[in-house]
Amino acid sequence: MVYRVAVVGGSGYTGGELLRLLAGHPSVRVVAVTSERSAGRRVEEVFPNLRGSVELLYEPLDPERIAKAADLVFLALPHKEAMDAAAAFHARGKKVVDLSADFRLRDPRVYEEWYETPHRHVDLLKQAVYGLPEIHRRAIRSAALVGNPGCYPTAALLGLLPLLKHRVADPQSLIVDAKSGVTGAGRGLALPYHFPEAHDGVAAYKVGGHRHLPEMVQEIEALTGTRVNLTFTPHLVPMDRGILATIYAALTRPCTTAELADLARETYAGEPFVQVLPPGELPNVKHLRGTNLCRIGLHAEQRTHRAIVVAAIDNLVKGAAGQAIQNMNLMLGLEETTGLLAPGFFP
């Protein structure tokens, strides 16, 4: 059986990556792709890399029409724009994977605090499942609406999960220091992302107040059952894609690097998209470009009694479009890895 899917917001970076990956998926066909500003144009005009692979025209977002054509809809829209579209498709019985932040936070008050607008679909928010398969696989399989995680939280949570699950990290002591490539900011134009501004420099931003913090806290508190004390500092680095998260946590008991690696290997045994590196090895985002992988290296620092975990992903794939397809596979009852196993490109 071939399922029909639509990509809403298909002219942005994550939408383009969805189209690229779905073009090689054997069990789905993209039947509609939307853009307001590029309506009427061919996909290949907006994404020349897709010439010969995707033969579709952009159309404006019309939930009525798209719901008739598609079984499942990906929303690659900005937050605040996605929630009404999700509600419109959900009301028409369609499964939805939302790549925005609109359905990631369970508590509408937390959403309002961080996104500075009341959530307009609180009932739907309650039904949404946080789409990190390594934690919520079973719930995702039966979900009608998945809130696909942010790119920073994907790297941070996958890096932290083995330590938290085995209770070797003190949840009161967590620091996530993370670097993102420029595509993490989306395709829209803004001064900090112009070539002379972003190239050949590195800067922290949103220190103490990035919007990905509350979803990390939500998931860690659910895992540990305790309040968490987490500092998260994001950085913009001059590369196209990739997230590298360096995570620090106080150890709750003496541990060696080899023990930490064993705990991580046990946590991720059978996981198709998480690779734990041998002791002494650390990941590089460059080796993961285009893949749905998260690669993790761990170190136990004896001098400070801290664990240091380095987690790397491609922000557009495991941090967005690839993870969304992984969720789609689960929701449609397909093999979870379908369409996602091609190796990345290097260098």
Ligand X SMILES: NC(=O)c1ccc[n+]([C@@H]2O[C@H](COP(=O)([O-])OP(=O)(O)OC[C@H]3O[C@@H](n4cnc5c(N)ncnc54)[C@H](OP(=O)(O)O)[C@@H]3O)[C@@H](O)[C@H]2O)c1
Q: Which residues contact 187 (CB under 8 A, 6 or more apart)?
A: 11, 12, 13
Angle between the N-to-C axes of helices 151-165 and 133-141, in degrees from 0 to 180, rounded to the nearest 10? 100
Strands 294-301 and 306-313: antiparallel
Long-range pairs for 43-50 at CB < 8 Å and ≥24 separation? 43/10, 43/19, 46/11, 46/16, 47/16, 47/19, 47/20, 49/16, 49/20, 50/16, 50/19, 50/20, 50/23
Q: Which one among 1, 37, 200, 208 touches ligand X, defined by CB under 6 A?
A: 37
Q: Which one among 3, 5, 6, 11 touches ligand X, defined by CB under 6 A?
A: 11
Residue number with CB closer to ligand X (3 or 74): 74
Binding segment for ligand X (CB under 6 A), chosen from 19-27, 76-84, 161-169, 337-345, is 76-84
User: What is the x/- site pattern for ligand X, positions 206-245, by CB under 6 A?
Assistant: ----------------------------------------
Q: Which one among 5, 6, 15, 28 touches ligand X, defined by CB under 6 A?
A: 15
Residue number with CB closer to ligand X (76 or 276): 76
Shortest distance, CB of residue 20 to ligand X, whole angstroms? 12
Binding segment for ligand X (CB under 6 A), chosen from 34-42, 163-171, 276-284, 333-341, is 34-42
Separation of alpha carbons 97 and 95, rounded Å = 7
294 is catalytic: no
Q: Which one among 81, 84, 177, 271 touches ligand X, defined by CB under 6 A?
A: 81
Choosing from 5, 151, 161, 169, the catalytic residue is 151
Q: Which residues contact 307 (CB under 8 A, 6 or more apart)?
A: 163, 168, 169, 247, 248, 249, 250, 251, 255, 260, 298, 299, 300, 301
Catalytic residues: 151
Residues interacting with ligand X, by CB under 6 A? 9-15, 35-38, 61, 76-79, 81, 99-100, 150-151, 183-184, 186-188, 315-316, 319-320
